Structure 1
Amino acid sequence: MYADTLSATAPAPPEGVSVAKRGDVIAPFEVAGLDGDAIRVPTAHAGQRVLVNIWASWCGPCIEEMPELDRFAGEQGANGVQVLGIALDDAAAVRDFLQRIPVDYAIALDAPGPADAGVRLGNPRGVLPYTVLLSPDGRLLKQRIGPFAHGEIDGWVAD
């Protein structure tokens, strides 16, 4: 579906940056919370399943799925699947975007590039949106490229 956005080859990640594969425990890394505090992935949500969505304010399919992510996050409560959005974008653009389309789940920032959060979570080509489901022990359970349609996340997380 989004194959036209793929490049023929992805640049190799820098030395020391691991690209997770399904079943791997994620090597911990930090991203900046929108409030400026660092969020350590996956340890910030240790003991809980986490849906991590990599997006950008300029990505049309990302924008389309945000209400669905927000709906899902709102239904989870403190003990359900936690949702973390990581924008590969600039802080001012993300804040402006969230003024127009607010969400109630945590948003973090990362600089796009060969060592960004998406790469570390198994998406070296950088196609957006990109979503992963992490187990309570930080293992990569599922990966998805492309947006979720209304109601689709529930089944994806349950499978």
Structure 2
Amino acid sequence: MKLTPLRIVLVAVVSGGLGLLAALLATGPGPLLGSDLGQRVLNDALTASAPPLPDGRSVARRGEALPAVEVAALDGAAIRLPGDFAGRPLLVNVWASWCGPCIKEMPELDRYARAQGEGGMQVLGLALDDPQAVRKFLARIPVAYPQAIDVPGPADAGVRLGNPKGVLPYSILVSADGRLLKQKIGPFEDGEIDRWAAH
């Protein structure tokens, strides 16, 4: 059988696909989901199948201005995203006190936030949880970065920040002028935030 250029391309594509499938079966989706491309594909898939939000609210999209989102600080004061954080980049980490992967990544987020100082990246935790549960959790495991809270639901702050399926933990990177730059579904590994936020 003579190999034509088309057959060579088809064989290469099939071989590459089988190699990718074998790698995913052997090592799991971790390396793929850890990449920016993998995160884009995952978020696009989750967003495409999401129902519309009630009351005409919008879901944040990568590259676009963050829609106005208001949440409460633990003391009840209003926090407005992105307005209250304008002028410096912002990392928002959406979590809950009952979420094991969220709890595991908190020391890494705390380390990163402390390293930023006054002029670096701002970090905000956003708990989708019961306020009392969050206060009890933070009394046991305090962190240096500010915390906000919202009631979980079909149009909660996490959903409006680009996570329509409510997968936790979920983090976003917002530019100094309020645009959604990056999204991450799943926990940060040790040292990963520095690389992720730098891109």
Q: Does 1:115 align with 2:159?
A: no
Q: Does 1:97 align with 2:137?
A: yes
What secondary structure does 1:149 align onto?
Answer: coil
Partner residue, 1:133: 173
Cα-Cα RMSD:
1.7
Bigger fraction of residues in helix: 2
Residues matched between the structures, number: 156
Matching residue within 105, 116, 128 for 1:65:
105
Q: Does 1:153 align with 2:158?
A: no
Matching residue within 11, 26, 37 for 2:66:
26
Q: CA deviation at 1:39?
A: 0.4
Matching residue within 127, 134, 140 for 1:87:
127
Partner residue, 2:85: 45
Q: Does the 8 Å CA contact 1:12/1:114 hold for their aligned counterparts?
A: no
Q: Which runs of 4+ in 1 moved over 4 A?
A: none
Partner residue, 2:184: 144
Larger Rg: 2
AA of the residue aligned to 1:50: L
- Measure the CA separation in 2 of the matches of 1:45 and 1:84: 10
Instruction: Give the TM-score of the pair, scaled to structure 2.
Output: 0.75
**Gap runs ≥5 in structure 1:** none
Q: Does the 8 Å CA contact 1:26/1:139 hold for their aligned counterparts?
A: yes
**Gap runs ≥5 in structure 2:** 1-28, 34-41
- Measure the CA separation in 1 of the matches of 2:118 and 2:85: 11
Q: CA deviation at 1:12?
A: 3.1
- Measure the CA separation in 1 of the matches of 2:159 and 2:53: 8
Q: CA deviation at 1:11?
A: 4.2
- Measure the CA separation in 2 of the matches of 1:128 and 1:34: 20
- Measure the CA separation in 2 of the matches of 1:11 and 1:34: 30
Q: CA deviation at 1:10?
A: 3.8
AA of the residue aligned to 2:164: P
Instruction: Give the TM-score of the pair, scaled to structure 1.
Output: 0.93
Q: CA deviation at 1:117?
A: 1.1
